[in-house]
């Protein structure tokens, strides 16, 4: 069972994430042993991308990550510190063994970023050994185009209708003069 104790995320009695910020929350899921780890934003400026630190990865854990290598492809990578967790990580399997290293006494935790409203989620590491949630709506292209159109006063033609892009979450662009 996962718990949030004194600023640490603890799984199976072992610290997984240390120094979790106060905006990190953990709530139990319907399945026994499962929980939802999340973070709340302190009223940020409207943005299509938000990054939330979850805490530093505690010593003694190693991980296997599946991350989006290209738009349609995921590949695995492994490591021992959060700094190595690549951007666009879609699944993070963590393993902690006892001091003797016996596989029979290993503890596993699985982190799966999920959708939240119109935002998609992924995990990533930081150079400070923090594990981070990254939430993106995919609307950054439209935000960028709005600012470019205002600056250049050029006509922009969209490859698909803007109403459809709200559902699809991306929008290919063809520039016109």
Nearest one of 6, 34, 36, 17 to 125, comparing CA atoms? 17
Is this structure's pTM higher than 0.95? no
Nearest one of 38, 3, 33, 34 to 21, comparing CA atoms? 38
Find how far residue 149's CA is from the centre of its chain: 31
Q: How far apart are alpha carbons 21 and 156 in whole angstroms?
A: 42
pLDDT-wise least confident of 11-20, 45-54, 117-126, 148-157: 148-157
**Per-residue tokens: 172:** 């290919």
pLDDT tens figures, 83-99: 999 999 999 999 998 76
Specify the 3-state DSSP secondary structure of 3. strand
* Buried-exposed string 94-111: b where 16+ CB fall within 10 A, e elsewhere: bebeeeeeeeeeebebeb
Specify the 3-state DSSP secondary structure of 25. strand
**Per-residue tokens: 55:** 């805490």
Which of 13-27, 41-55, 143-157 tops mean pLDDT?
13-27
Q: How far apart are alpha carbons 65 and 123 in whole angstroms?
A: 9
pLDDT tens figures, 154-166: 434 343 444 444 4
Helix (H) or strand (E) holding 50: strand 49-57
């Amino acid at each position: 069972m996962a718990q949030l104790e004194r600023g640490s995320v603890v799984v199976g009695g072992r610290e997984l994430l240390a120094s979790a910020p106060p905006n990190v929350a953990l709530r139990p899921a319907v399945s026994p042993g499962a929980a939802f780890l999340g973070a709340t934003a302190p009223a940020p400026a409207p943005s299509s991308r938000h990054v939330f630190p979850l805490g530093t990865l505690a010593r003694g854990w190693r991980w296997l990550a599946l991350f989006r290598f290209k738009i349609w492809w995921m590949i695995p990578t492994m490591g021992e510190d959060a700094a190595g967790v690549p951007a666009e990580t879609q699944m993070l399997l963590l393993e902690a063994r006892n001091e003797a290293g016996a596989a029979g006494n290993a503890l596993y935790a699985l982190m799966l970023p999920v959708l939240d409203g119109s935002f998609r989620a992924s995990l990533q590491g930081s150079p400070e050994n923090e594990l981070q949630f990254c939430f993106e709506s995919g609307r950054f292209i439209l935000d960028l185009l709005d600012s470019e159109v205002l600056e250049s006063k050029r006509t922009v033609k969209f490859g698909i209708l803007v109403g459809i892009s709200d559902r699809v979450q991306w929008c290919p662009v063809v520039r016109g003069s």
